[in-house]
Structure 1
Amino acid sequence: MTEIHAPGGPLPYIPDDVTVVQFMLDYTHESRPTAPAAQLNPCMIEDATGRRVTFAEVKARTTALANALSSRLGIKEDDVVCICSPNHVDYPVTVWATHRLGAVVTAANPAYTVGELEHQLTTTCTKLLIVHPWNYATASAAASNANIPHDHIILLDEVGEAVYPQQTVQRLVEDGLSCPPSFVERSLRPGEADKKLAFLSLSSGTTGRPKAVCIPHRAVVAGIIQLAHLANQQRMRWEERKLRAGDIWLAQMPFFHIYGLVVIMHFALFYSVTIVVVPKFHLTDMLASIQRHRINLLPVVPPMVVLLCKNPAISQFDLSSLRVVVCGAAPLSAELVRQLSSILPTVHIGQGYGMTEAVGSLAFLQMEQKIGTPGSAGRLLPGIIARVVRPDGSLAKLGQPGHLIVKGPCMALGYLNDEQATEETFVDGWLYTGDEVMVNEQAEVFILDRIKELLKVRGYQVAPAELEGHLLVHPDVADVCVVGVPDDYNGEVPLAFVVPQADALNRMKNDPAEADRVKAALVKHVADAKVQYKWLTGGVHFIDAIPKNPSGKLLRRTLRDRAKELQEQGPSVSIRAKL
């Protein structure tokens, strides 16, 4: 086997002479649903207020904001605009207004510290910062450090009676509607969308500081078309389809992350889905939103699934409208899938897999299956070509593990001003994902782990995600992360950082000896189910919370450092492997 071509091709035509905003608001494409009922639905609903926003309103506000950004603030082609905000119904407006002017968007995590945001602003040479009042203080300090003028900070919203000196998006929209046009939107030449930047999105930063990924307009358009083409190929009855025009999705995945940006904010709106925009995740609030808005499709990340499986509050809400749960951003174990399925027995459950450098999804849930193949991160999207490369450089056969490298129409161009990182990740048209995978005959992808996160115990490779999935089904475990610690004999051994469930914490509080009993039980839980070299020989350590990045991926690097400190202090409760 040399290459794996995803089923479902060929793709419909992918235009190379339109920007993202032109494709979303002006362009007629064969993949877009034309059902009148779907077109009449609002494109967005504000979760807290129930405010309904139509496409016509979005289009008018986009053009008006672009007019004001040009006339009042001088934003022009190739300038960079940073949006630092939780999800908001005007988030698409700010993105697409920037694109109307030929400028570039860099979306930032609103939870960033001053230093983290300053890094993004300076790395991308941001000219204008659009920020939510919730994180105004941090953003203002970061902007000052990055030499962004105070009058180039725009508030996305106003909260309560708070008064800020900045302009707001709403006021700029009103200005833009009232003044003559100040810009002429440029038409792209054929092929220009392949290179013209739409987004500078920061990578997860698992190696060094976060890097700005250069994403061209056509890559975003291609990602939308790939998902729409997959949705249009569904051959089951309408009521059994996973992706349907006119459905209602909960938009709680952050729009600054590639998952929320491409799959939800762009594909869902393109496919005539109504998205309920949620600024912050909280479990009971999410359950209430599903009940209140009659949500049909729920995008989640693994930590949310853990909460759904562990929290009894789920039984207090009417979730009968829910038809599909899609998990992405990090692998979801087969054990958690089975547990979630038992809690939501009528719901279709599947996974997707992607990355910023691939501009969204590389694999998506299997349309024909009610429950995705256990352990699978979904099936390769139409248009994707994959290779699985073994450590010796040879190509793996189907079912064999190796490094996943891919190519397709939705790839980024590289990293901004980082030639070395670009050359290491983007090689001869192929994207080196850094993920250890196995691909089967159905083109389903099984994520074993990040290659650099695989443990090597006595010469055997151990995937932390496998042990984490097993530990999460234990009733005393709320969350977990497994890392390797050095060991003279074994090379390294697994250590589990565990967040105990509330009941376990109460037991430990009442009886100090209970902590050791719980640790021993968890070690035995793994030893009873796994081959000996996968045992928790490094022990178990309790922790208040597992550090994660915004996409839900575990920050193992942080806990590896903590594990070294613990190792110096002495062993935790563990069981030594027999020699």
Structure 2
Amino acid sequence: MTYQTIPNWLMKRADLTPDRIAISAPSGVLTFRQLHEQALGLAEKCVSLGIRKSDMTAILASNSLEMVIFIHAMKYIGAKTLLLNTRLTSHEMRFQLEDAGVKTLLVNEDFLHTAKEAQVYLDIKIHTFKEVMQTSKQTFDWIKEFQLDNIDTIMYTSGTTGNPKGVMQTYGNHWWSAVGSALNLGLQDKDAWLCTVPLFHISGLSILMRGIIYGMKVVLHEKFDPSLANRAIKEEGITIASVVTAMLSRMLDDLGDEAYPSHFRCMLLGGGPAPLPVLERCSDLNIPVYQTYGMTETASQIVTLPPEYSLTKLGSAGKPLFPCEVQIQTRQGEKAEAKQPGEIVVKGPNVTEGYLNRPEATNEALQNGWFHTGDIGYLDEEGFLYVLDRRSDLIISGGENVYPAEIESVLLSHPLIIDAGVTGMEDEKWGQIPCAFLVKQKGAFLTEEEVKHYCLERLAKYKVPHHIYFVDGLPRNASNKLVRRQLPLLLEKYVGKQDEH
């Protein structure tokens, strides 16, 4: 069997444009040649610690120059890389490490305590970044060609059943994501991409991959700060930035009545459609906003709306990227008519081949070449996509995906809670926040603060319900399934009661 291969991206880029800046971060600047040399040197150190080709290796770190080098070092070894969300609790992290079969966890010192808590009962080696840096090198036959169908990275995404699933992202997925984005947004000599989103998210990792493939400078921030982001756009030649609505709103507040330099050409906006006031403000300031729709399973964006349509096609995510297709399917599996709502299904070389160790979930999601997103939407007469419901029950809080079922499973593990339902509440700062309705055991005493504390030990902070309401019962159908779509009505009732007081 013949497999499609492509030269190691960083190796090739270092050969083509060695002296261009690859990464600019607060701790330093690296050219493509320097990044290649440091990634290869680090790979030799990792090999001396026992990391081998095809091993499942995890990285736990926040955005930094060191993290970038470690990510590329794994590609030189040919190890599969699980990128861990730094906001996870040790309980959540342990599940992912065990489920993925991780052999080695590479961790920034700041997260060593959480890593060790997650490691309990697992046969996993932990090495800090500092420890690896101080290790002696061992030469090896490093990867000079990537096989496009080989797994490169794994990212876990919460499922509607409450159990996170590892999305398998191949080298081909990342390659075609970069190609599709370039064909949509174009490439210019002076392009520079601002990355203030986490590298453990597909939004951040895709920027890192594009920087290497395009030969484009990536300006990396450890975390999002609106004033620092605005300053980078004004002073560091940024032409493209990736944000979600909550980030863009804060940048606009910080910006005031100032304008961005003329070289800034793309504000790539994910995490759901932007409200009209935000788009109008951007229009007044000549800020080009490209709204997008994508997910971990599509290796970033798969649909994008150019700025010239941002007001005339308000609420639309746009049209599919050049190598991709989008279709709306009815419940009967038939192709929907224009403006007829149905499930959004997508196809393209950037779409995942499935979920790690989840053949049933993979077969359910991938049918006849189409990936079933679980999201509801429609296409208008001109083929523009409108997303009506993100995976039905999904809560998007500050750009983070929060699934009610995952929170409910934690709540139901509490000995005094016999039933739980979670829904989203609109919030000015975060877009949405999770809220919970709970049924306690008869006669039990339980406070809102006790429940929140219980959740904080088991869930990332952004998943913990902001408001908790104790009720006598929850809406369920004849088969005893929770009717979650009725929870917002319940929420209105309880919020209304609070407003009266």
Query: Would you say same fold, with TM above 0.5?
Result: yes
Question: Which structure 2 residues correspond to residues 200-211 of structure 1 after superposition, within 5 A?
Answer: 200-211=154-165
Partner of 1:43: 22
Q: Deviations over 1:502-552 (max 9, x none)?
A: xxxxxxxxxxxxxxxxxxxxxxxxxxxxxxxxxxxxxxxxxx9xx9xxxx9
Partner of 1:429: 369
| In the alignment, structure 1 residue 450 sits paired with structure 2 residue 450 | no
Alignment match of 2:148 (pick from 193, 203, 223): 193
| In the alignment, structure 1 residue 23 sits paired with structure 2 residue 2 | no
Partner of 1:259: 203
Q: Which has the larger radius of gyration?
A: 1
The Cα RMSD (Å) is 3.7
Tell me the distance in 1 between the aligned counterparts of 2:165 and 2:385: 26
Structure 2 gaps, min length 5: 405-421, 430-451, 473-486
Tell me the distance in 2 between the aligned counterparts of 1:335 and 1:572: 25
Which AA in structure 2 matches 1:45?
A: S
Alignment match of 2:141 (pick from 183, 192, 215): 183
Tell me the distance in 2 between the aligned counterparts of 1:500 and 1:337: 12
Question: Which structure 2 residues correspond to residues 300-379 of structure 1 after superposition, within 5 A?
Answer: 300-309=243-252, 311=253, 313-315=254-256, 319-320=260-261, 322-328=264-270, 330-341=271-282, 345-366=285-306, 373-379=313-319
Partner of 1:90: 66
Secondary structure at the aligned position of 1:354 is classed as strand
Secondary structure at the aligned position of 1:453 is classed as coil
Alignment match of 1:277 (pick from 215, 220, 232): 220
Secondary structure at the aligned position of 1:415 is classed as coil
Structure 1 gaps, min length 5: 1-14, 156-165, 233-242, 455-463, 473-480, 484-493, 502-543
**How many residues are paired up?**
429
Offset, 1:226: 1.8
TM-score, normalised relative to structure 1: 0.66
Question: Which structure 2 residues correspond to residues 211-222 of structure 1 after superposition, within 5 A?
Answer: 211-222=165-176
Offset, 1:109: 0.8
Task: Indicate how the Cα distance of structure 1 residues 563 and 200 shifts in structure 2: closer, same or farther if over 3 A, else same.
Answer: farther
Tell me the distance in 2 between the aligned counterparts of 1:403 and 1:305: 29
Question: Which structure 2 residues correspond to residues 164-563 of structure 1 after superposition, within 5 A?
Answer: 167-169=131-133, 171-172=134-135, 175-176=136-137, 181-185=139-143, 187=145, 193-194=148-149, 196-232=150-186, 243-262=187-206, 264-309=207-252, 311=253, 313-315=254-256, 319-320=260-261, 322-328=264-270, 330-341=271-282, 345-366=285-306, 373-453=313-393, 497=425, 499=427, 558=465, 562=469
Q: Deviations over 1:228-279 (max 9, x none)?
A: 23344xxxxxxxxxx53422221111111111112x1111332232111111
Which AA in structure 1 matches 2:32?
A: F
Tell me the distance in 1 between the aligned counterparts of 2:471 and 2:364: 29
Task: Indicate how the Cα distance of structure 1 residues 500 and 80 shifts in structure 2: closer, same or farther if over 3 A, else same.
Answer: closer
Offset, 1:441: 4.5
Tell me the distance in 1 between the aligned counterparts of 2:332 and 2:497: 35
Secondary structure at the aligned position of 1:413 is classed as coil
Partner of 1:56: 33
Which AA in structure 1 matches 2:204?
A: G
Task: Indicate how the Cα distance of structure 1 residues 496 and 430 shifts in structure 2: closer, same or farther if over 3 A, else same.
Answer: closer
Tell me the distance in 2 between the aligned counterparts of 1:89 and 1:442: 43
Task: Indicate how the Cα distance of structure 1 residues 568 and 102 shifts in structure 2: closer, same or farther if over 3 A, else same.
Answer: closer
Which AA in structure 2 matches 1:273?
A: M
Partner of 2:441: none
1:231–1:244 contact (8 Å) kept in structure 2 = no
Tell me the distance in 1 between the aligned counterparts of 2:229 and 2:392: 34
Offset, 1:285: 3.3
Secondary structure at the aligned position of 1:436 is classed as strand
Tell me the distance in 2 between the aligned counterparts of 1:199 and 1:69: 17
Which AA in structure 2 matches 1:59?
A: H
Q: Deviations over 1:87-140 (max 9, x none)?
A: 112333212211222210010111221111111211111122122222221122
2:291–2:304 contact (8 Å) kept in structure 1 = yes
| In the alignment, structure 1 residue 67 sits paired with structure 2 residue 22 | no
Tell me the distance in 2 between the aligned counterparts of 1:141 and 1:358: 32
Offset, 1:301: 0.9
Seq. identity, %: 23
Question: Which structure 2 residues correspond to residues 6-17 of structure 1 after superposition, within 5 A?
Answer: 16-17=4-5
Secondary structure at the aligned position of 2:316 is classed as coil
TM-score, normalised relative to structure 2: 0.75
Tell me the distance in 2 between the aligned counterparts of 1:292 and 1:78: 42
Offset, 1:451: 4.7
- Whose strand proportion is higher, 1 or 2? 2
Task: Indicate how the Cα distance of structure 1 residues 448 and 384 shifts in structure 2: closer, same or farther if over 3 A, else same.
Answer: same
